[in-house]
C-alpha cells in the first residue's frame, strides 16, 4: 500500500528524473517544499519498499517498480485534469491543484470510468502524454518553439512548466494547443520571437515563453 505522501514523492521523483534518470535529495526537497532530512528518511522508507534505489550521498533513482507506480499516479493526475477540462468546463489553468488531490482517490473503477468517458485520451490538457494502465508512456518528440527558426510555421502541441500564471498569460494571448504560429523573425540578442497566429497582429514572445512551448513543425 502506497500512502498519499509516498505517491507525491514518487511523482515528484519521476518528473524530475525525466532526462538523467537521477535526482538529488536537494532538488527533490525543493520540488516538494520539504526539508532535506525529511526527504532522506522518506527515501530510506521507499528503498525498503523497493521503490527507489538509495545509497548515502548518491543520486536517487526510481526502481522499475517505482517508475511504474509513479506513472500510475501521473496517469490518475492527467486523467483527472482531462476530465475537469473536457467534461466539467474548467480552464487548463485551474485544474492542477484539484487533480493534485483527486489523484489520490483509491478506486480503480473511478479512474477507469474517467478514461472511458474521455474516450481513452492519449494526452492531457497541457499536451502531456497519459500513461497506459501498465504505466507505459507514448513519448512524443516535440521541439521547443525556442529551437525553431524564422520563416517556419509550427503548431503548439504541449506546454511545459504549467504554472497557473503562465497558462493565464497564454490565455490572454489566445495561445492554446493547436494554435499555428508563424515565426516572422528571431532577435538574436535575447532569443525573443516576433510571431503571428490566428490573424492577430504580430506579437513578441520572450525567450522564456518560447522555451515553454513545445511545437510540431508543419510543412
Partner DNA sequence: ACATTTTGTTAGATGAATCTAACATTGTAG
Partner DNA sequence: CTACAATGTTAGATTCATCTAACAAAATGT
- Where does this chain bind DNA (CB under 7 A)? 3-6, 24-27, 29, 33-38, 40-43, 45, 54, 56-57, 59
Q: Which cell goes with 45?
A: 522508507
CA distance 99 to 138: 21
Q: Which cell goes with 54?
A: 538509495
Contacts of residue 208, Cβ cutoff 8 Å, sequence gap at least 6: none
Residue in 89, 119, 178, 201 binding a second copy, rule: CB under 8 A: 89
Q: Does residue 10 contact residue 66 with C-beta atoms inside 8 Å?
A: yes
Interacting partner of 105 out of DNA, Mn ion, a second copy, none (Cβ under 5 to 8 A depending on kind): a second copy
CA distance 131 to 219: 29
Nearest approach, Cβ of residue 44 and DNA (Å): 7
Please provide residue 156's backbone torsions phi and psi, each rounded to the nearest 5 degrees. -70, 125
Nearest approach, Cβ of residue 7 and DNA (Å): 9
Residue in 67, 75, 96, 212 binding Mn ion, rule: CB under 5 A: 96
CA distance 104 to 52: 20
Residues in the chain, overall count: 219
Nearest approach, Cβ of residue 13 and DNA (Å): 13
Nearer to a second copy, 69 or 103 (CB): 103
Residues that bind Mn ion (CB under 5 A): 8, 96, 100
Interface with a second copy (CB under 8 A) = 87-90, 94, 97-98, 101-102, 104-107, 109-110, 113, 117
Amino acid at each position: 500500500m502506497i500512502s498519499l505522501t509516498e505517491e507525491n514523492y514518487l511523482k515528484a521523483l519521476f518528473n524530475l528524473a525525466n532526462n538523467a534518470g537521477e535526482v538529488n535529495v536537494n532538488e527533490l526537497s525543493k520540488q516538494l517544499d520539504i526539508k532535506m532530512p525529511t526527504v532522506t528518511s522518506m527515501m530510506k522508507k521507499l528503498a525498503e519498499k523497493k521503490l527507489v534505489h538509495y545509497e548515502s550521498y548518491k543520486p536517487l533513482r526510481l526502481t522499475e517498480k517505482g517508475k511504474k507506480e509513479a506513472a500510475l499516479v501521473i496517469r490518475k493526475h492527467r486523467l483527472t485534469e482531462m476530465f475537469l477540462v473536457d467534461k466539467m468546463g474548467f480552464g487548463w489553468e485551474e485544474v492542477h491543484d484539484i487533480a493534485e488531490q483527486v489523484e489520490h482517490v483509491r478506486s480503480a473503477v473511478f479512474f477507469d470510468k474517467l478514461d472511458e468517458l474521455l474516450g481513452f485520451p492519449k494526452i492531457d490538457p497541457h499536451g502531456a502524454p497519459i500513461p497506459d494502465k501498465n504505466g507505459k508512456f507514448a513519448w512524443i518528440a516535440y521541439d521547443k518553439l525556442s529551437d525553431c527558426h524564422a520563416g517556419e510555421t509550427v503548431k503548439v502541441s504541449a506546454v511545459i512548466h504549467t504554472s497557473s500564471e503562465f497558462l493565464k498569460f497564454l490565455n490572454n494571448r489566445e495561445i492554446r494547443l493547436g494554435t499555428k504560429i508563424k515565426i516572422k523573425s528571431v532577435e538574436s540578442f535575447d532569443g525573443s520571437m516576433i510571431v503571428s497566429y490566428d490573424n492577430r497582429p504580430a506579437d513578441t514572445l520572450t525567450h522564456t515563453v518560447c522555451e515553454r512551448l513545445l511545437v510540431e513543425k508543419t510543412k
